Amino acid sequence: ATALLPFVPGDVVEGADLVLRYYISEGFVEATVEPPTYRYMQPDLVNAQIVIHEGQKYFFGNVNFVGPTIYGAEALRGQMLDLLRLPYTEARLADIPRRLQSYYKTRGYFAVKVDAVGDPTLAINGRVPVRVTIEPGAVYYFDGVTVKGTRQLRPSYLVNRFKNLRGRPYSPEVLDKKFRQLMRTSLFNILKINPTPVNGNQLRLDINLEEAKPQEFGFSIGYGSYEGAIVGASYANRDLFGYGRPVTTSIEYTQRSYKADVLFEDPYFYNTGFGLQVRLSALSFEYDGYTKFELGGRVTLSRQITDKYSIGFVFGGRHVEITNATIDDRLLGETNYFISSVGFTQTLDLRKNPLVAPRGFVFDNTVDLATSAIGSDINLLRATGRVSYYLSFAPDQPQLTGEDLQKSGLQKWFERSLLAFGARAGVVYPLDTAGTSVALAIPIDERFFTGGSTTVRSFSERDLGPHDDKGNPIGGEYYTILNAEYTFPLYGELLGAVFVDAGNLLPDARNPGLNDLRYGIGAGLRYNLPIGPVRLDYGVNPSPRGDEAFGAFHFSFGFAF
């Protein structure tokens, strides 16, 4: 039986208005909807009648440009081809000036004026001619900067951020990029950048701001399937001495580890275009088979070469001590050593909308060299590489009002899903085997370990690969990880996931390859938080060997790959 709805006249009127809006969004700009009329069929049953007059359906016709186009009519039409293929509406007509103004302003025409006029009464065969009037004006150039509202932060911090723009043509995209970079520092509650014309075609940037509180205390509590209970505390000062250089200190306790960390950052190191990070840390961690104590530091100089490509140079040094080992000494390698290394990192991020609806590739790799020439007790070469591909099913462009009314619930659900693929590999190669065997030239804590929440999820953490006769993992010199995952919405911020993982861990870097791959098939849940997802996964091992488990649960924070 068909369910009957309560009769509320106001709801029927509202529904009639929505019907009219829908017709207009489909190009029936002259459509009318008569007020609903009602007929009482029974004391408790009402028939509602809504009469619709559709009228003519209109599309965009010829677009005529008036005024100096500078870049030519075809280039301008290219900015609105997707609009011109859709039915004619006043909302889409109003979008034409916005798009063309953005096109001109990106090229320095700060004061450009664009007007678009369409008249359905002049339509021929339902196609409405459009006249676009353009007054581009002059090209404007960036001039100086004024800063108001600072308290602790030195005004020079902001002046230096815009210094390289002076004399360059105006670009709203450049200003938006600068704005986003500054807001990511968390130094500001309010930041307004107002271009003001001065001296003819010059633009002065007037910056008004309200500083955020620079100091922050934080406490955290959590749980990981490998670490167990996690408790942490942190203190951060985002504006050390008024120069916008953050320093963060943190301590963390888990059921397996103790950790203390101090991080100093200079995002604009001496205004060279490089960012500086200096990290000092102390760590004690109880792994299966041994415990390590580590004390060290790391200096990173990074540079964003383009919007998509970044590089980094790394120098690090660590003292490592292996204690409480139940693994045979013949499998441990050095147990008390200092390792210093120099390295290079690079990342190529080709994703569109990486934070909202990622689509595209990410490549990154690292290379580290540890050598006695810089004081290292261990000589090795280590390299890792990763490629990921993300396929979001959300539309590339935001939908105009009314355009998604015809989408089914299934289609809207599908557009919130994401397909991701990942491939990783790493190798660590000993450079000096004098006085020891090749197998022991790489200490156990410098080897790779796989299995766990971010690699092959059918294995417990670090449990894939070579083991000793007591079942303790002893690591390897070469690994491969392959992942595929599909996530889909369940309710609100709760997502479901299905995945397939594959990977190996080989003991000898001289014999790399894809042999001895192990697999994982599973499903999980994700809950999106502002700082990242909480994940619960269960992976099944389709071909367990010996004492291997049928599968493994993983509860963790962050992305799988």
Share of the chain above pLDDT 70, in %: 96
Give the pLDDT confidence of 410-467 residue by residue, as tens digits: 888 888 899 999 999 999 999 987 656 666 789 999 999 999 999 999 999 999 999 9
* pLDDT band per the 50, 70, 90 thresholds, residue 394: confident
Position 539, amino acid:
G
**Could you tell me which residues come within 8 angstroms of residue 529 by beta carbon, excluding any fewer than 6 positions away?**
493
Neighbours of 314 (CB within 10 A): 18
The C-alpha atoms of residue 527 and residue 494 are separated, in whole angstroms, by 5
Alpha-carbon gap, residue 64 to 116, rounded angstroms: 10
Amino acid 532: pLDDT: 81
Burial of residue 281 (CB within 10 Å: 0-12, 13-18, 19+) is middle
Instruction: Give residue-wise pLDDT tens across range 397-420.
Output: 655 545 555 677 788 888 889 999
Domains of the chain, earliest start first: 9-53 (no CATH), 59-135 (3.10.20.310), 141-211 (3.10.20.310), 267-398+408-557 (2.40.160.50)
> What is the reported pLDDT for 408?
75
pLDDT at 194 over 60: yes
Where helices occur in 111-240 by DSSP H, the ranges are: 155-162, 172-183
Q: Decide the pairing of beta strands 245-254 and 418-430.
A: unpaired
**Contact call for residues 346 and 312 (beta carbons, < 8 A):** yes
Query: What is the model's pLDDT at position 246?
Result: 97
C-alpha 284/C-alpha 258 separation (Å) is 5
Percent of the chain with pLDDT over 90: 85
For 163-190, how does the pLDDT look when each residue is reduced to its tens digit (9 = 90+)?
A: 999 999 999 999 999 999 999 999 999 9
Q: Are 13 and 36 in contact (CB under 8 A)?
A: yes
* Model confidence pLDDT, tens digit, residues 106-118: 999 999 999 999 9
Is it the case that residue 356 has pLDDT exceeding 90? no
Q: What is the mean pLDDT of the chain?
A: 93
Average pLDDT over residues 211-238: 95
**pLDDT tens for each residue of 49-99:** 999 999 999 999 999 999 999 999 999 999 999 999 999 999 999 999 999
